[in-house]
Amino acid sequence: RAGQGDPCESRLNRGCPACGPAGDASAEERSVLLANRAACHLKDGACSLCVADCSSALELVPFGIKPLLRRAAAYEALERYSLAYVDYKTALQVDCSVQAAHDGVNRMTKALLEKDGVNWRQKLPPIPTVPVSAQTRWSIPSAQAPGANTPPATAPQGERDQTAAGMDRARMLKEEGNELVKKGNHKKAVEKYSESLKLNKECTTYTNRALCYLALKQYKEAAQDCTDALKLDPKNVKALYRRAQALKELK
75, 106, 123 - which closes a domain: 123
Q: Is residue 128 part of a domain?
A: no
Query: CB 139: neighbour CB atoms within 10 A?
Result: 13
113 lies in the same domain as 194:
no
For residue 227, tell me if it sits in a domain: yes
> Do 107 and 177 lie in a common domain?
no
Q: Does residue 156 belong to any structural domain of this protein?
A: no
Structural domain total, the chain: 2
> Is 26 found in the same domain as 118?
yes
Do 170 and 235 lie in one domain? The reply is yes
pLDDT confidence of residue 92? 87
Residues 72-90 have pLDDT tens digits of: 999 999 999 999 999 999 9
Expressed in angstroms, the distance from the first to the final Cα of the chain is 36
Q: Do residue 224 and residue 177 come from a single domain?
A: yes
Average pLDDT, the chain: 81
Q: What pLDDT, in 10s, does the model give residues 121-170?
A: 999 999 998 887 666 444 333 333 343 333 334 445 544 444 667 788 88
Alpha carbon 71 to its chain centroid, in Å, reads 11
Q: Do 117 and 181 share a domain, yes or no?
A: no
**Domain harbouring 111, CATH code:** 1.25.40.10
Residue 211 lies in a domain: yes
Domain-ending residue, one of 99, 123, 147: 123
Say whether both 29 and 115 belong to one domain.
Answer: yes
Residues 108 and 171 in one domain: no
pLDDT at residue 83, as a whole number:
96
What value does the mean pLDDT take over residues 20-25? 44
Give the per-residue pLDDT at 103: 92
Is 196 within a domain?
A: yes
Q: 157 lies in a domain? A: no
pLDDT at 14: 52
Q: Which of 123, 143, 177 marks a domain boundary?
A: 123
Q: Please give the residue range of the domain that contains residue 202.
A: 162-250
Residues contacting 173, CB < 8 A, separation 6+: 192, 193, 195, 196, 199
Produce one character per residue of 80-113: b if its CB has 16 or more CB atoms within 10 Å, e if not: bbbbbbbbbbbbbbbbbbbbbbbbbbbbbeebbe
Give the predicted TM-score (pTM) of the model.
0.50
- Which segments of 41-190 are extended strands (E)? none
- Could you give the CA distance from residue 14 to residue 18 in angstroms, rounded to a whole number? 9
Mean pLDDT, residues 47-67 = 94
